[in-house]
Amino acid sequence: MAAEQRFFAAIAPYYDAWMGWRERLAEEIPFLEDRLRGYPGASVLDASCGTGHRVRALADRGYDAVGADGEAVLVEQAKELHAGVTVHHLPLAELTRIVKPGSVHLVVCGGNGAVIGRSQAELEQGLSRMFDALAPGGQLVLEMDNLAKVVRRKLRFLPLRQGTAPDGVEELLLLGQYEWSGTGISYYLTVLKRRPEEPWEMTVHTAEVLSLEHSDLVPMLREIGFGDIRLYGDYAGGEFMPLESDRLIVTARRPE
């Protein structure tokens, strides 16, 4: 956990550019709203809210949205960016401290929040708290990179991202890279930054990633009690193909 905190503290100035929130939310929000159809003003818990943009987008659409994240630096940024939005510094294992058990219509855990810097025991405990938070019939949406492709196809480089630092001046290029060692996965984020008329500066940041494939996750969810588990390869509802899809999106339901 300490290593995970160091990773996010180091990349905090670049986090929003790394996440690509505008493009991400354009894909995510319609998918999430499909799961909330028939529940106007529904309760939503973002279990890995980062800098809070997803919580803000859902709250602006009339949902009772609350966010939590284990990284204090990201939660502080969320509070600065989004006045009036409710976000908490809280690990996955303590989610039911901020929502009444059995009260939430939708729990979201996106952006690799389930696997970066986590042990399997920590994830299992977090998923159990997500299950506890959900109302009967409520749904979980979990999204991560397709790590089966990393392990089996030796996927290494992710698409290059461009952006600007929070000051709006510093130009950013961000390149994510996975390395499979045979026993575990490391993630490297190379950050290139420069101010106008100045040379590029480069830093590299690393985090360990839980080696979790869909074939590991589905039985874990079933053991916890989830049902109606479905796998998608994108937010358009495309078929998940273990050796081809870049993403893994999982929906699961707490039984009625």
Burial state string for 232-247 with b = 16 or more CB within 10 A and e = fewer than 16: bbbbeeeebebeebeb
CA–CA gap between residue 108 and residue 145 (Å, rounded): 15
CA–CA gap between residue 241 and residue 213 (Å, rounded): 12
pLDDT band at 3 (very low <50, low <70, confident <90, very high): low
Instruction: Look at residue 169 and give its three-state secondary structure.
Output: coil
Residue 2's pLDDT is 63
Instruction: Look at residue 120 and give its three-state secondary structure.
Output: helix
Residue 161's pLDDT is 95
Numbered ranges of CATH 3.40.50.150 in the chain: 2-145+212-253
The CATH number fitting domain 150-209, selected from 3.10.450, 2.60.120, 2.20.25, 1.10.10: 2.20.25
The pLDDT tens digits for 179-214 are 999 889 999 999 999 999 999 999 999 999 999 999
Structure tokens at 124: 């299992």
CA–CA gap between residue 60 and residue 86 (Å, rounded): 12
Numbered ranges of CATH 2.20.25 in the chain: 150-209
CA 67 to chain CA centroid, nearest Å = 12
The pLDDT tens digits for 14-63 are 999 999 999 999 999 999 999 999 888 899 999 999 999 999 999 999 99
CA–CA gap between residue 128 and residue 224 (Å, rounded): 6
In this structure, the number of other CB atoms found within 10 A of the CB of residue 64 comes to 16
Structure tokens at 89: 């510094």
CA–CA gap between residue 239 and residue 174 (Å, rounded): 28
* Spatial contact of 254 and 135, defined as CB atoms under 8 Å apart: yes
Q: What is the pTM of this model?
A: 0.95
Nearest to 128 by CA among 157, 172, 174, 91: 91
CATH number for the domain formed by residue range(s) 2-145+212-253: 3.40.50.150
